[in-house]
Amino acid sequence: MDNQALVIFGASGDLTYRKLMPSVFDLYMNNSLPDGYAVLGVSRSKFTDSEFRKKMKEGIKEFSHFKNAGAEKINHFLKKVFYISIDTQKSEDYELVKSKLRELNKKLDLRHNYIFYLSTPPQLYPVIPKYLYGQGLTLQQKGFRRIIIEKPFGHDLKSAMELNKSLTDFFSEEQIYRIDHYLGKETVQNLLVTRFSNGIFEPLWNRNYVQHVEITASESIGVEGRGGYYETAGAMRDMVQNHLLQVASLVAMEPPAKVTSEEIRHEKLKVFRSLRPLNEEDLRNNVIRGQYTESHVKGKYLTGYRDEEGVDKNSRTETYFAMKFFIDNWRWSGVPFYIRSGKRLPTRVSEIVIHFKPSPTQLFKSVDGAIEAGNQLILRIQPDEGILLKTGMKVPGNGYEVKSVNVDFHYSDLKDHYIPEAYERLILDCMTGDNTLYMSGEGAELTWRFVQPILDYWESDPDAPLYGYPSGSWGPDSADKLIEGAQTWRYPCK
Ligand code: BG6
């Protein structure tokens, strides 16, 4: 890999502390960093290099895979970590970024290769590129220049389009890395391998055999002190427009011609273009939002969302979102996709469930409804990462009663395999110039375009339902009614 510097804007923030720096340290421990590297933290807060290193050390010790690596290793890594304080709103302050990079470039032989990571409030996303450009830091004359943009990528379709425009004024599309940390998860990438390296799944992976597809990302935590941010986002913007629609595109896409960024992005875009636009009836019947209310779970009091810090007492922000939608293409015509995500649900689990159609004739009786429900392939994204196939098996003894059994693989069985953190994988990819696991500009716009009618509906209709659900429950009952027939959502720990 080329020598290079990673410049993190927003370096005094939580993400740098919990995720970014521990992940770069993981790369260092895995010998994935080049000899000539530097990490330059940039923020408004005043720190000296050594104060910044001290803070980062704490983050590494708490959040790195290699938290027990020992002081010597951590200090060695931190020797190439630096810090400058600037006012990111002031164009002249970027001279300091430039001169610091010039200095580090000489000292550490960085070969003019720079990645700029924007982990700042989103209002700064259009500002920083402009000022970097002003200093000539975006032009790839001597080395490469790349920019990573954290979520949220826009607040709605209009702002996402504006953001794309302001980025592409100063960087070319191939220099822009729009991060979605779900795509960095090992198990999400394994979706492609499961689908396209096994002969047995793909022939069944279509409308002829699949009854419906379910994608869940549930969290047991509440908004955890992020009420201010969450009030402006809500579950749909926070989890669905980005993470879950990205996952859905990997579930639904056609096999790529090659495993290249271009081919994979192309196939994902085809899925986004085939999303059936939501009409008024969909908005009223196929979209459910909820908000957690106070409750007691196992003797513990859980606050309601409206009592969280930074949250409006009359807030209409959703902490739960579920929807049913269709992908109008040859493969998926008529197959419903169900997506849900929420906070303060009973457990933290992200998983994809492919529900296959039941066998055409029912020769046997099942003791647990397994046959009637059909086989399920469950791709567990987290925790307890793995794959589970539910099949029917004969209950031993007289007769032909059938029971559901699990064919189950857990990643934890691969004891000798290191599973990188999503951020570790994604930062490494950017360092090597591979944007396969990053969102394209068009992809970001298409997913916003798809969900925009929901935002418009909620905004325009004060009576659009927002259901309360007790903290620690599986969300509003009405979400169950989304799924037709005898089926319900899969409840991983009900
Ligand atoms: C983030 C959201 O993008 O993803 C958070 O802003 C959410 O609200 C988090 O908690 C979930 O990520 P993970 O990796 O824990 O599933």
Give residue 485's pLDDT. Answer: 67
Give residue 294's pLDDT. Answer: 95
Whether the predicted pLDDT of 494 surpasses 60:
no
Q: Report d(CA 108, CA 212) in Å as an integer.
A: 54
- Which candidate in 65, 181, 212, 243 is catalytic? 243
Give residue 418's pLDDT. Answer: 87
- Greatest Cα pair distance, the chain, in angstroms, is 84
Write out pLDDT tens, residues 58-69. Answer: 999 999 999 999
Q: Report d(CA 325, CA 453) in Å as an integer.
A: 13
Residues 6+ apart with CB under 8 A from 450: 245, 272, 275, 277, 278, 325
* Residue where the block lists tokens 């009637």: 372
Work out the pLDDT band at 421, boundaries 50, 70, 90.
very high
Residues in the chain: 494
* Mean pLDDT for the stretch of residues 433-454: 97
Among the listed ranges 98-102, 277-281, 439-443, 481-485, which one has the minimum average pLDDT value?
481-485
Among the listed ranges 96-100, 209-213, 343-347, 379-383, which one has the minimum average pLDDT value?
379-383
Identify residue 147 by its one-letter amino acid code: I
Ligand 1 site-directed mutation target among 20, 23, 239, 380, most atoms within 8 Å of CB:
239
Mean residue pLDDT across the chain: 94
Work out the pLDDT band at 140, boundaries 50, 70, 90.
confident
Work out the pLDDT band at 361, boundaries 50, 70, 90.
confident
Whether the predicted pLDDT of 463 surpasses 80:
yes
ipTM of the complex: 0.98
Q: Cα(242) to centroid of ligand 1, in Å?
A: 11
Q: What is the 3-state secondary structure (H, E, C) of the chain?
A: CCCEEEEEECCCCHHHHHHHHHHHHHHHHCCCCCCCEEEEEEECCCCCHHHHHHHHHHHHHHHCCCCCCCHHHHHHHHCCEEEEECCCCCHHHHHHHHHHHHHHHHHHCCCCCEEEEECCCHHHCCHHHHHHHHCCCCCCCCCCEEEEECCCCCCCHHHHHHHHHHHHCCCCHHHEEECCHHHHCHHHHHHHHHHHHCCCCHHHCCCCCEEEEEEEEECCCCCCCCHHHHHHHCHHHHHHHHHHHHHHHHHHCCCCCCCCHHHHHHHHHHHHHHECCCCHHHHHHCEEEEEEECEEECCEEECCHHHCCCCCCCCCCCCEEEEEECECCCCCCCCCEEEEEECCCCCCEEEEEEEECCCCCCCCEECCCHHHHCCEEEEEEECCCEEEEEEEEECCCCCCEEEEEEEEEEHHHCCCCCCCCHHHHHHHHHHHCCCCCCECHHHHHHHHHHHHHHHHHHHHCCCCCCEEEECCCCCCHHHHHHCCCCCCCCCCCC
Measured from the CA of 226, which atom of ligand 1 is nearest? 8
Q: Cα(424) to centroid of ligand 1, in Å?
A: 16
Work out the pLDDT band at 413, boundaries 50, 70, 90.
confident
Ligand 1 site-directed mutation target among 155, 181, 348, 350, most atoms within 8 Å of CB:
181
* Mean pLDDT for the stretch of residues 399-428: 90
Q: Which two tokens stand for residue 113?
A: 């290769």
Whether the predicted pLDDT of 487 surpasses 80:
no
Q: Atom 15 in ligand 1: which residue has the minimum CA distance? A: 219
Q: Report d(CA 33, CA 24) in Å as an integer.
A: 8
Q: Cα(182) to centroid of ligand 1, in Å?
A: 9
Which residues line the pocket of ligand 1, CB cutoff 6 A? 151, 219, 238, 350
β-bridge pairing 337-342 and 300-302: unpaired
Q: Which two tokens stand for residue 406?
A: 């699990």
β-bridge pairing 295-297 and 300-302: antiparallel
Please state the φ and ψ torsions of residue 92, each to the nearest 5 degrees: -65, -25
Q: Report d(CA 123, CA 216) in Å as an integer.
A: 30
Comparing 370 with 52, which gets the higher pLDDT?
52
Give residue 414's pLDDT. Answer: 84
Write out pLDDT tens, residues 35-49. Answer: 999 999 999 999 999
Write out pLDDT tens, residues 309-318. Answer: 999 999 999 9
Whether the predicted pLDDT of 371 surpasses 80:
no
Give residue 382's pLDDT. Answer: 87
Work out the pLDDT band at 282, boundaries 50, 70, 90.
very high
Give residue 201's pLDDT. Answer: 94
Axis-axis angle for helices 94-108, 127-134 (nearest 10)? 60
* Mean pLDDT for the stretch of residues 379-406: 91
Whether the predicted pLDDT of 263 surpasses 70:
yes
Work out the pLDDT band at 368, boundaries 50, 70, 90.
confident
* Mean pLDDT for the stretch of residues 158-168: 97
Work out the pLDDT band at 258, boundaries 50, 70, 90.
very high
Comparing 480 with 237, which gets the higher pLDDT?
237
Clarify whether 243 is annotated catalytic.
Answer: yes
Q: Atom 5 in ligand 1: which residue has the minimum CA distance? A: 238
Give residue 116's pLDDT. Answer: 98
Q: Cα(467) to centroid of ligand 1, in Å?
A: 22
Whether the predicted pLDDT of 480 surpasses 80:
yes
